[in-house]
Amino acid sequence: MVSPAYAERVEFTPANQSLISTSPVPSDNGGKSASEVDSTLLKSLPIIGGLAKIRLSKQTKLRLKLAFSALMLASLFIMGKVDLSKSWQVALQSNGWYLSAAVAFFLGSVFINAKRWQLLADAVALRKPFLALLQYCYVGLFFNLFLPSTVGGDFSRGYYLSKGTGKYKSAFYSVLADRTVGIAVLFLFATVGILSGPAGHLPWKLKLPILLGTAGIFLFLPLAPKLCHMVLGPDNRITRRFENSAAKVYWHDRKLVFSALFLSVILQLVIVLCHITIGLALGLTMIPIWYYFVFYPCVAVLGFITPSFNGIGIREWAYTYFLTFIGVDNSHALTYAMMWLALTTLSSLVGGVVYFVGHLQISKEEREEYEHVQQEEAETA
């Protein structure tokens, strides 16, 4: 339920009903809204209804994610037969200049991310100074690694963006659009790497999902509102969300979308440079440049979609798999994975400094309000 403070603070006027109001739409289904009817029909199905009854607390979800990450890491050491002493020696002999360059590239990539997000936030009438959004992005890195149970990085960014405005849905859409554009370019990079590099020896079980995912993102997603209108009908709640929400600007403003995609390409090029410099720091000169454009996007998407503690365990397994596939020995591959984990951890600590110095604490009341809107919109999305 929405807190009383939220109900008092948000003014339901025609100008902002599409952003805030969730009042039911009248229908001929016994006084129920279309969304209630859809939900009732879904829950009447045996499997869906059974899953709908499952409710896990945030603490339970966190424990499960921690356990899964720990299990994946343990299995990597046990089943991967990694020589830890050799991995440690590889780490000690790494080139410090290349590692410093990787850190600089990664920290600099946050500036590009903040600029991309600023464009997407401006489009839904949430205008904030660039430096403020840069702070939020750094703090998001900190929350992603150290506070995943209640306040993740995407949640914190949406919270700070909407704080004091009541435009919780618009903030959620801007963060979701930012994520979507980033993932789209990840798939694009992987596809370009497969098609342009000598990737013929890669198994189709790796290539096919990437190619299908890229086709789905770039062919289906731009037409999603029209397809929903044609297939689901104009009165369906998902169709109405496309047509009446603040997010519709992302389908109508092509210049905005192309600008965001361009910044995403620059951002991912910088991240690829991070990976290349880590490889050079470890002396892995046998890895062809095109292969970085294949395995890094795959690892990033796996870490994002797999239920784990911020991808830890999954990423290490994935890095080790892809690097050994190209001929890197297990010890070097694991060292590479741990170097990337150390890099992201260091960057997250920088975000922690920004968080504490900037006094960016999150109040319990406003967190609950934003959580309510985020959960509602995420279920629809």
Q: pLDDT tens digits for 93-123? A: 889 999 999 999 999 999 999 999 999 999 9
**What's the pLDDT band for 1 if we cut at 50, 70, 90?**
very low
Q: Is residue 38 situated within a structural domain?
A: no
| Nearest-angstrom CA–CA distance, 230 and 193 | 35
Q: What is the pLDDT of residue 81?
A: 59
Q: What is the mean pLDDT of residues 135-153?
A: 75
Beta-strand runs (E) in 108-239? none
Name the burial class of residue 285, with classes exposed (0-12), middle (13-18) and buried (19+) by CB atoms within 10 angstroms of its CB: exposed
In 128-155, which positions are buried (b, 16+ CB within 10 angstroms) versus exposed (e)? beeeebbbbbbbbbbbbbbbbeebbbbb
Number of domains in the chain: 1
What residue numbers bound the domain in which 279 lies?
Answer: 66-380
User: Helical H runs in 283-329?
Assistant: 289-305, 314-325
Q: Is residue 353 situated within a structural domain?
A: yes
Q: Is residue 355 situated within a structural domain?
A: yes
**What's the pLDDT band for 192 if we cut at 50, 70, 90?**
confident
Q: Is residue 207 situated within a structural domain?
A: yes
Q: What is the pLDDT of residue 64?
A: 67
| Nearest-angstrom CA–CA distance, 23 and 5 | 18
The amino acid occupying position 117 is: W
Count each helix (H run) and each strand (E run) in the chain, helices first. Answer: 19, 0
Q: What is the pLDDT of residue 114?
A: 95
Q: Which residue has the higher pLDDT, 147 or 140?
A: 140
Neighbouring residues of 295: CB distance < 8 A, sequence distance ≥ 6: 318, 319, 322, 323, 326
Q: Is residue 22 situated within a structural domain?
A: no
The amino acid occupying position 28 is: D
Is 70 exceeded by the pLDDT of residue 227?
yes
Average pLDDT, the chain: 75
Q: Is residue 173 situated within a structural domain?
A: yes
Q: Which residue has the higher pLDDT, 120 or 2?
A: 120
Residue closest to 35 by CA, chosen among 251, 175, 249, 232: 232
Q: Which residue has the higher pLDDT, 372 or 256?
A: 256
What is the value of pTM for the model shown? 0.73
Q: Which of 1-10, 88-97, 190-199, 256-265 has the lowest mean pLDDT?
A: 1-10
Q: Is residue 137 situated within a structural domain?
A: yes
Beta-strand runs (E) in the chain? none
Q: Is residue 87 situated within a structural domain?
A: yes
